[in-house]
Amino acid sequence: MPRNNTLTTEGHRIMSQSNRRDFLRQIGTAAVSVPPLRHMALGSGTPGSSYQAGGGAPQQQSGAVLYDLLIAGGRVIDPAQKISAERDVAIVGGRIAKVAADIPRAQARQVYDAKGKLVTPGLIDLHTHVYRSGISLNVDPDIVGFQSGVTTVVDCGSTGAGNFAGFRRYVIDGSATRIYALLNISTIGLIVTNEIYLDPRMIDARAAIRTIGANRDRILGVKVRVNGKHSDLSHDLEVMKTAREVADATGLPIMMHWSVEPDLLAMLKRGDILAHPFNPPSPNSANLFGADGTQADKVLPQILALKDRGIWTDVQLGTTHHAWDVSEKAMKQGWYPDVISTDIGRAPDGSPASVLVPMSEYLHLGLPLDQVIAAVTSTPARILNFPEKVGTLEPGVTADVAILELAQGSFEYGDQGRQPRTLKQQFVAAATVKGGVFLKGAPPVAAPGTPAAPPGR
C-alpha cells in the first residue's frame, strides 16, 4: 500500500504519511502549550471554566480549580497499586495528581466521563518491530501505539549497532508514541531474518557495547533471534556467549527467541526474557512443548523451571508466533506467560495488530481481566529498567492513561495458520492520554455559547 494512503483500524482514521510531520508538530505544540492552571482553563480558553465531557456546556467552576483533567467514573485497573474499582483519575501539570473515588468535578477544568469504561495506565507493548520504512518487517509505531491506548512500545531487535542511529533519528525521535529498543546482537539487525547466521563478524560485542553506551536512554536490552533448532545449537551457543558478554558488561537483560535446549537455557540469567512460547509446531522452530517438529503432551520440565529461575516469558497471539492449539493446550495445563505483546501480528481486518488483539485473545483463553491488564502495564514495567516510571497511575508519575471499552459481540480471530476462534468480547481504545495530553479521543472543544458534544469514541 502506498505510504501516502490513509488506513482505518478499529474504526478510527489514521493520518497519511504526508500529513504525519504536521500532526506530530501539533502534538508537540499541544504538549508544551498548556498554560499554567492558574491562568486558563484547558479546552475553554476562559479562566476558571470547565469543559464537561459527555454533555453540557462549559460551566463556571465553584471553588478552587486544582486539576487540568479529571477522568471520572471509570473502572480503574492499576495492578501496580492493586486498584480495581470505580475511581476518578486527576491530572495536573502532565502528571497523575490523585486516584480516588468521587473527586469533585468542579475541581477540574476538563472532565472526561469514563462511566462504563476501563481506565488503565498507558499500555506497554514489550515486543514490537517499528523501524518504519527501515526494514521490511515493520509496523507504524503510532498505529499500534497511541491509536490503541499504547503509550510505550519496545522495538525488539529491528536494528543492531550498524543501523540503530538511523532508527533513532528517523523513527524514535519523531513519533508521538514513546519508543525504547532492544539492540540486535547482529550489527545489521533485521535487514534480513537470518541475521545471526550470515557472518560471524556481524556478531560484534565491542560495537554493541559502544552503541548501548551512546544510547543508554533508549536501549534497554539485547535481542538474540535463534531459530531454536537442535542442529543450530553449537552456532547458537557461540552467539549467546557474545550476547552474554554484552549484557553483563552493560547490565542489561537478554531477550532470546524460544528454545528448549538445556544448554542455551542455562545461559539465561535472572531477569532475562524468552519469547514466543506458542510457536506452531515446526521442524524450524520451538515452543514450550518441544522443538524440531516433536511435541510432548506436557509443558517441558526445563520450561516449567523458568519461573523459579526468574526468567520472564513474553507471548504473542494474533497471527504471529501463535497456534491456537498450542496456547489452548498450555492454558489447560495452567501455564501462563508473564507479558502479552504483538511482535508484527495482524488484526482480524488485516491491519497492524496492536496489543489490544492478544489482550482480547487472552481474555478469551480465560486469563482474568486484571491479569490481562497487568501483562501490558505493571509487569513489563518491572521487567525492563525504563528511564521514567511507566505502567502505573501512581501519583507523581507521568500521566499516561488508556481508556478502553470491552465491546460485546462475535469476533473471529485467526492464528498464524489462519485457524479461527470466535471471541465474545474484544478491547477497543476509546482515548489515550500521554503526559497529560490527549493524543486520541479528546473531548471536542465547545465554541462559546454552543452545547458540548460527548467524548470521541
Residue 144 and residue 342 in contact, taking contact as beta carbons nearer than 8 Å: yes
Q: Residue 344's pLDDT is what?
A: 81
Least confident residue range of 62-66, 163-167, 280-284, 380-384: 62-66
What sign results for the dihedral spanned by CA atoms 74, 77, 78, 82?
A: positive
* Residue-wise pLDDT tens digits, 68-92: 999 999 999 999 999 999 999 999 9
* Residue-wise pLDDT tens digits, 25-34: 444 444 433 3
> Measured between alpha carbons, how far is 145 from 390 in angstroms, rounded to an integer?
14
Q: Residue 455's pLDDT is what?
A: 53
> Measured between alpha carbons, how far is 217 from 388 in angstroms, rounded to an integer?
10
Has residue 8 got a pLDDT over 60?
no
CA dihedral angle for residue 42, residue 47, residue 52, residue 58, rounded to 10 degrees: -120
* Residue-wise pLDDT tens digits, 332-358: 999 999 999 998 877 777 788 899 999
3-state secondary structure of 402: strand
- Averaged over 357-362, what is the pLDDT? 95
Nearest to 164 by CA among 239, 228, 217, 93: 217
**What are the E-state strand segments in 276-400?**
286-287, 290-291, 312-316, 339-341
Q: Residue 23's pLDDT is what?
A: 45
* Residue-wise pLDDT tens digits, 92-130: 999 999 999 999 999 999 999 999 999 999 999 999 999
Is 24 or 285 the better-scoring residue by pLDDT?
285
* Average pLDDT of the residues of the chain: 86
Residue 29 CA neighbour count, 13 Å, CB half = 6
Has residue 177 got a pLDDT over 90?
yes
Has residue 456 got a pLDDT over 70?
no
3-state secondary structure 146-194: HHHCEEEEEEECCCCCCCHHHHHHHCHHHCCCEEEEEEECECCHHHCCC
* Residue-wise pLDDT tens digits, 133-150: 899 889 999 999 999 999
Residue 409 and residue 434 in contact, taking contact as beta carbons nearer than 8 Å: no
Has residue 453 got a pLDDT over 50?
no
Domain residue ranges in the chain: 121-429
User: What is the CB neighbour count within 10 angstroms for residue 73?
Assistant: 21
C-alpha cell at 397: 508519575
Confidence of residue 63 (pLDDT cuts 50, 70, 90): low
Confidence of residue 403 (pLDDT cuts 50, 70, 90): very high
> Measured between alpha carbons, how far is 360 from 354 in angstroms, rounded to an integer?
11
> In the chain, pLDDT over 70 holds for what percent of residues?
83
Has residue 166 got a pLDDT over 70?
yes
* Radius of gyration (C-alpha) of the chain in whole angstroms: 23
3-state secondary structure of 116: coil
* Residue-wise pLDDT tens digits, 290-323: 999 899 999 999 999 999 999 999 998 778 889 9
Least confident residue range of 201-210, 227-236, 242-251: 227-236
Q: Residue 316's pLDDT is what?
A: 85
What sign results for the dihedral spanned by CA atoms 234, 235, 237, 242?
A: positive
> Measured between alpha carbons, how far is 236 from 346 in angstroms, rounded to an integer?
29
Confidence of residue 45 (pLDDT cuts 50, 70, 90): very low
Q: Residue 443's pLDDT is what?
A: 79
Q: Could you give phi then psi for residue 86, rounded to 5 degrees?
A: -70, 120
C-alpha cell at 405: 471499552
Q: Residue 1's pLDDT is what?
A: 38
Considering the entire predicted model, what is its pTM?
A: 0.85
Say which CATH topology domain 121-429 has.
TIM Barrel (3.20.20)
- Averaged over 49-65, what is the pLDDT? 42
